[in-house]
Amino acid sequence: MQLTVWTYEGPPHVGAMRVCAAMEGVHYVLHAPQGDTYADLLFTMIERRGTRPPVTYTTFQARDLGGDTAELFKNAAREAYERYKPQVLVVGSSCTAELIQDDPGGLAMALGLDAPVVPLELPAYQRKENWGAAETFYRIARAMAGPHAPAPGSSSARAREAGQRARCNVLGPCSLGFRHRDDLVEVLKIIESLGVDVNVVAPLGATPADLARLGEADFNVVLYPEIAGQTASWLQRTFGQKATRTIPIGVGATRAFIREVAELADVDPSALLRPDLSRLPWYSRSVDSTYLTGKRVFVFGDASHAIAVADVAAKELGLKVVGLGSYSREFAREIREAAARHGVEPLVCDDYLEVEAAITAAAPELVLGTQMERHVAKRLRVPCAVISAPVHVQDFPARYSPQMGFEGANVLFDSLVHPLMMGLEEHLLGMFRGDFEFRDGVAPSHLGHGEAPAETASENDLEEDGEVKTRGASVAWTLDAEKELRKIPFFVRGKARRNTESYALERGVGRIDVETLYDAKAHFGR
Amino acid sequence: MSAVSTQSVPQGKSLGASLGASLGASQGISLGSCATGPKIVQERGQREVFCGLTGIVWLHRKIQDAFFLVVGSRTCAHLIQSAAGVMIFAEPRFATAIIDERDLAGLADIDDELDRVVTRLIERRPDIKLLFLVGSCPSEVIKLDLSRAAQRLSQQMTPNVRVLAYSGSGIETTFTQGEDACLSALVAQAQRADAAQKPSLLVVGALADAVEDQFRRLFAQMGIERVDFLPARRAADMPMIGPGTKFLLAQPFLTDTARALEALGAQHLPALYPLGAEGVAEWLRAAARAFGVSRETFEAVIAAPRARAEKSLERWRPHLAGKRVFFVPDSQLEPPMARFLARELGMEIVEIGAPYVDRRRLAEELALLPPDTPIVEGQDVERQLDRLRAARPDLAVCGLGLANPLEAEGFATKWSIELVFTPVQGFEQAGDLAELFARPLMRRELLEI
Ligand code: SF4
Q: List all residues 6 or more positions away from B311 whose beta carbon is below 8 Å from its beta carbon.
A: none
Are B86 and A76 an interchain contact pair (Cβ–Cβ within 8 Å)? Answer: no
Are A33 and B171 an interchain contact pair (Cβ–Cβ within 8 Å)? Answer: yes
What was the pLDDT predicted at B84?
Answer: 78
Q: Indicate if the pLDDT at residue A449 is higher than 60.
A: no
Q: Say yes or no: B295 contacts chain A, CB-CB below 8 A.
A: no
Nearest residue on chain A to B408, alpha-carbon basis: A50
Q: Indicate if the pLDDT at residue A417 is higher than 60.
A: yes
**Residue in A4, A37, A79 closest to B77 by CB:** A4
- The parts of chain B modelled with pLDDT lower than 50 are 1-35, 86-87
Question: Does residue A203 have a cis bond before it (omega within 30 degrees)?
Answer: yes
ipTM value for the complex: 0.90
Entry field: residues in chain A: 526
Query: Which of A327, A333, A334 shows the shortest CA–CA distance to A356?
Result: A327
Residue A149 and residue A156: Cα distance in Å, rounded? 8
Are A2 and B97 an interchain contact pair (Cβ–Cβ within 8 Å)? Answer: yes
Could you tell me if A104 and A91 are in contact, meaning their C-beta atoms sit under 8 angstroms apart? yes
Taking the CB of residue A41, how many other CB atoms lie within 10 A of it?
Answer: 24
Sheet holding A366-369, edge to edge: A346-348, A320-326, A296-301, A366-369, A384-386
What was the pLDDT predicted at A66?
Answer: 76
User: Is A288 a known active-site residue?
Assistant: yes
CA B178–ligand 1 middle distance (angstroms): 12
Enumerate the residues of chain A whose CB falls inside 8 A of the CB of residue B105: none
State the alpha helices, DSSP H only, in B195-235: 209-222
Nearest residue on chain A to B111, alpha-carbon basis: A1
- Is this model's pTM higher than 0.80 or not? yes
* Residue B199 to chain A, least CA–CA distance (Å): 35
Residue B189 and residue B200: Cα distance in Å, rounded? 18
Q: Which of residues 76-115 of B touch A (CB under 8 A)?
A: 76-79, 81-93, 95-101, 103-104, 108, 110, 113-114
Higher-confidence residue: B83 or A173?
A: A173
Instruction: Say what the alpha-carbon torsion angle A478, A483, A485, A486 is, to the nearest 10 degrees.
Output: 150
First to last CA, chain B: 49
pLDDT digit string, tens, across residues A59-72: 999 999 877 899 99
Print the SS3 string covering A391-408: CCHHHCCCCCCCCEHHHH
Residue B186 and residue B165: Cα distance in Å, rounded? 9
Query: Which of B142, B122, B140 shows the shortest CA–CA distance to B130?
Result: B122
pLDDT digit string, tens, across residues A358-416: 999 999 999 999 988 998 998 888 999 999 999 888 899 999 999 999 999 999 999 99
Domains and CATH numbers, chain B: 2-22+52-175 (3.40.50.1980), 200-309 (3.40.50.1980), 312-448 (3.40.50.1980)
Query: Which of A140, A240, A258 shows the shortest CA–CA distance to A196?
Result: A258
3-state SS assignment for residue A90: strand
Phi, psi of B165 (to 5 degrees): -130, 145
What is the DSSP-derived secondary structure letter of residue B192?
B
Could you tell me if B346 and B165 are in contact, meaning their C-beta atoms sit under 8 angstroms apart? no
Catalytic option among A288, A435, A461, A465? A288
Q: E strands within A72-196?
A: 88-93, 117-119, 167-171
DSSP per residue over A229-289, as a string?
HHHHHHHHHHH--EE-----BSHHHHHHHHHHHHHHHT---GGGG-GGG-SHHHHHHSGGG
Q: Say yes or no: B389 contacts chain A, CB-CB below 8 A.
A: no
Q: Best of B49, B76, B96, B176 to mutate for ligand 1, by most ligand atoms within 8 A of CB? A: B76
**Is residue B155 packed enough to be buried (19+ CB in 10 Å), middle (13-18) or exposed (0-12)?**
exposed
Could you tell me if A120 and A152 are in contact, meaning their C-beta atoms sit under 8 angstroms apart? no
Are A34 and B49 an interchain contact pair (Cβ–Cβ within 8 Å)? Answer: yes
What was the pLDDT predicted at B91?
Answer: 64
Could you tell me if A382 and A491 are in contact, meaning their C-beta atoms sit under 8 angstroms apart? yes
3-state SS assignment for residue B123: helix
Query: Which of A311, A416, A313, A325 shows the shortest CA–CA distance to A362?
Result: A325
Q: List all residues 6 or more positions away from A437 whose beta carbon is below 8 Å from its beta carbon.
A: none
Predicted confidence band of residue A491 (pLDDT cuts 50, 70, 90) = low
pLDDT digit string, tens, across residues B150-196: 999 999 998 899 999 999 999 999 999 999 999 999 999 999 988 78
3-state SS assignment for residue A382: coil
- Ligand 1 surroundings by CB, under 6 angstroms: A 33, 35-36, 95-96; B 51, 53, 72-73, 75-76, 79, 136-137, 169-170
Q: Say yes or no: B399 contacts chain A, CB-CB below 8 A.
A: yes
Enumerate the residues of chain B whose CB falls inside 8 A of the CB of residue A13: 75
pLDDT digit string, tens, across residues A325-358: 999 999 999 999 999 999 999 999 999 889 999 9
What was the pLDDT predicted at A151?
Answer: 82
Could you tell me if B201 and B187 are in contact, meaning their C-beta atoms sit under 8 angstroms apart? no
Are A1 and B98 an interchain contact pair (Cβ–Cβ within 8 Å)? Answer: yes
Q: Say yes or no: B3 contacts chain A, CB-CB below 8 A.
A: no
**Residue in B53, B138, B400 closest to A41 by CB:** B400
* Residue B60 to chain A, least CA–CA distance (Å): 10
Residue A176 and residue A19: Cα distance in Å, rounded? 9
Residue A512 and residue A473: Cα distance in Å, rounded? 13
Residue A49 and residue A45: Cα distance in Å, rounded? 7
State the alpha helices, DSSP H only, in A343-404: 352-362, 371-380
